[in-house]
A and B are shown apart, each in its own frame.
Chain A
Amino acid sequence: GQNIDQPTEMTATEGAIVQINCTYQTSGFNGLFWYQQHAGEAPTFLSYNVLDGLEEKGRFSSFLSRSKGYSYLLLKELQMKDSASYLCAVVDSNYQLIWGAGTKLIIKP
């Protein structure tokens, strides 16, 4: 079966750094997406990785290791507005997105 694991909830302090992990076991791999979803809103695209390594976009970075079936999203200089759920999704061999349940990130002042 196909499986994506993320921690259910994490708490961090404003101004700090947090790393959200995602491990996956899927039938094939054609890339990995990270999305942000604020409560009651739509998911919005954050990043895409298809090759091993780190992709940096401002305060957000995403890392991929295909051999380990592992990715993480790194958020720096946390702001209160970063309080949201972060969704990991893998593109499988049929080019369908397989979604993790999401990690709810709580930022405390």
Chain B
Amino acid sequence: NAGVTQTPKFRVLKTGQSMTLLCAQDMNHEYMYWYRQDPGMGLRLIHYSVGEGTTAKGEVPDGYNVSRLKKQNFLLGLESAAPSQTSVYFCASSYSLGEGQPQHFGDGTRLSIL
């Protein structure tokens, strides 16, 4: 019963490097989300997807790109990492928007940019 799986769990990058965070869900959810969580702040939505092949910007999309080529996978890319992107990144998925359907979260990726 995997739910939402994120890889990697930890990563350290140098400024300017690129990387991709992977998220996979096995619940057949249409909706997927990428958040970042910083101390003293609420979860902030980076990008989200309402179905395979679709993506949309959230509250803080700058410096990130995403792709949803398959329904079960949602990838988050950092093209040129900056220290301000040091954070914990959470992927989530849900059956629908609203209607009381909760979002299910992965265990997070702890990313440090030096």
Contact = CB atoms under 8 A, between A and B. Distances in A.
A45 B42 contact: no
A97 B100 contact: no
B97 interface: yes
Interface in B37-61: 40-45, 48, 58
Given A87-B42, A101-B41, A102-B42, A44 B105 contact: yes
Interface residues of B, number: 20
Interface in B92-108: 97-98, 100, 102-108
Contacts, number: 47
A48 B98 contact: no
B1 to A, nearest CB: 14
A31 B98 CA distance: 7
A100 B42 contact: yes
Nearest to B94: A97
Interface of A: 4, 8, 30-31, 33, 41-45, 48, 50, 87, 89, 91, 95-102
